[in-house]
Amino acid sequence: MIESLKYIPQPKATNEELAGHFTDLAPPLNARQAAIESSRCLYCYDAPCTRICPTGIDVASFIRNIHEKNVNGAAVTILQQNILGGSCSRVCPTEILCEDACVRNHDAEGQPVKIGLLQRFALDNAALEGHPFQRAASTGKKVAVVGAGPAGLSCAHRLAMLGNDVVIFEAHEKSGGLNEYGIAKYKLTDNFAQKEVDFLLGIGGIEVRHGQKLGQNVHLKDLHAQYDAVFLGLGLGASRALGLTGEDAPGLMAAVDYIAELRQADDLAKLPVPRRAIVIGAGNTAIDMAVQIQRLGAEEVTMVYRRGFDAMSATHHEQDIAKANQVRMLTWAQPQQVLLDEAGRVRGMRFERTALDGTRMIGTGLTFELTADAIFKAIGQAMEPAALADPLAAMLKRDGDKIHVDDGFRTVLPGIYAGGDCVSLGQDLTVQAVEHGKRAAMAIHSDIQAKKGAA
């Protein structure tokens, strides 16, 4: 039970009925559909889809393999650049990356090749005998990776492939990070995140230790002393505060916490579901929260954002998902006050209308109230305070919650690297985190070998 919402009733529907609301958002292609779709690819020289892919997947090559019925070849081509290509094919915002760059998207046809679905087809239907990559000869070196999310897992896999031994320290009971705990249930179904983790670990040479949290029972100074290098794939696990009185009242909680409970729930019918809900924010997490609470049976779900639709970090595709699920979307309004009932529980929120004064957003002084049984904040993530409580970690150069790194993902502390959402390079996307981990692993391996040669 979610403590903050323990007084809110459970859904009227059964677990089986609710599970039917969380099937695949985008059903996979069958073999005939994949054959037809792959034939649409023009196999461009210097393909723009590959150039814009954060992990540099050779898109034209894997699609040609599908067209030639070489599904295994297509899968290996993808995995060479993105070992988490299965989850990325489901959650990556292809509409603003490869499919947006597709030349088919800009001709008279105006319909890009369905690259994301073709990538999923290749990886879901490959019949690989064992792990597709073999480990290099042992380097005798051992690297610590903090965090078993996309960045940490990608880094660990590439390091292991290069012959290094890796120990991953993960705070949660399961590996996968955002893929396991933070993605909408209808995007990654059928326990896919864990299946992908199991596949990745199949390369060998990687040990995962769960229940290990940096700043509590794991300390950076110890890892730095005991391992040849340390990679920090910390993510941003804490939710930002609204800064309003009553923010800790029953009925107001972080959207990511509810999503994590939903994804781990064995019985969806036991989740608390408010009749009326407000979601504060305009990113993918806000959309995921609003759509899922609607699908669980909420009668009225309202997303509220302080700017306009064009300023939302959620893509137009994600916004369309919200609209298709009857989520009400209000723009140009910012939270002003949490409204509480006689028992001190959330009964709604007061908002102030906003406007632009040139390029600066201002409050207009006009207010309105929305009634709600629960409020979910999705206004961005922050670093877990305990993560940087370690004396050595406190020495990392940061800009707010973002750790400064160079092009090789090296921090200012020798032997310590970082990547994923906790650094300032690139976008906060799963596919970007995978690339960070991969590139950091190459830098770590190169630095370790150079140090070994110098010795």
Kindly report, residue by residue over 415-433, the tens digit of the pLDDT: 999 999 999 776 778 999 9
User: Percent helix, strand and coil across the chain, each rounded to 5?
Assistant: 40, 20, 40
Average pLDDT over the chain reads 94
The SS3 assignment for 246 reads: coil
Residue 362 confidence (pLDDT) above 90: yes
* pLDDT at residue 32, as a whole number: 97
Residue 58 confidence (pLDDT) above 60: yes
Topology, domain 142-237+383-454: FAD/NAD(P)-binding domain (3.50.50)
User: Of 140, 122, 141, which is closest to residue 132 (Cα–Cα)?
Assistant: 122
Domains 142-237+383-454 and 239-381 share a fold: yes
Residue with tokens 């409970």: 261
Beta strands in 293-422 (DSSP E): 300-304, 328-330, 333-340, 346-357, 360-371, 374-377, 381-382, 398-399, 402-403, 416-418
CB atoms within 10 A of CB 429: 21
The domain spans of the chain are 31-125, 142-237+383-454, 239-381
* pLDDT at residue 453, as a whole number: 65
Nearest-angstrom CA–CA distance, 181 and 265: 11
First to last CA, the chain: 56
State whether the Cα torsion 211-212-214-216 is positive or negative.
Answer: positive
Query: Above pLDDT 70, what percent of the chain?
Result: 99
The superfamily in CATH containing domain 31-125 is Alpha-helical ferredoxin (1.10.1060.10)
Least confident window among 79-83, 96-100, 302-306, 397-401: 397-401
Residue with tokens 């509810």: 258
Query: Above pLDDT 90, what percent of the chain?
Result: 85
The pLDDT tens digits of the residues spanning 64-87 come to 999 999 999 999 999 999 999 999
DSSP string, 171-192: SSSSS-THHHHTS-TTTS-TTH
The pLDDT tens digits of the residues spanning 109-123 come to 789 999 999 999 999
* pLDDT at residue 110, as a whole number: 81
Query: Which pair of structure tokens corresponds to residue 418?
Result: 């970082």
The superfamily in CATH containing domain 239-381 is FAD/NAD(P)-binding domain (3.50.50.60)
pTM: 0.95
Q: Please count the CA atoms within 13 angstroms of the CA of 164 that sit on its side-chain side.
A: 27
* pLDDT at residue 238, as a whole number: 82
Nearest-angstrom CA–CA distance, 453 and 263: 47
Nearest-angstrom CA–CA distance, 57 and 84: 12
Nearest-angstrom CA–CA distance, 103 and 115: 12
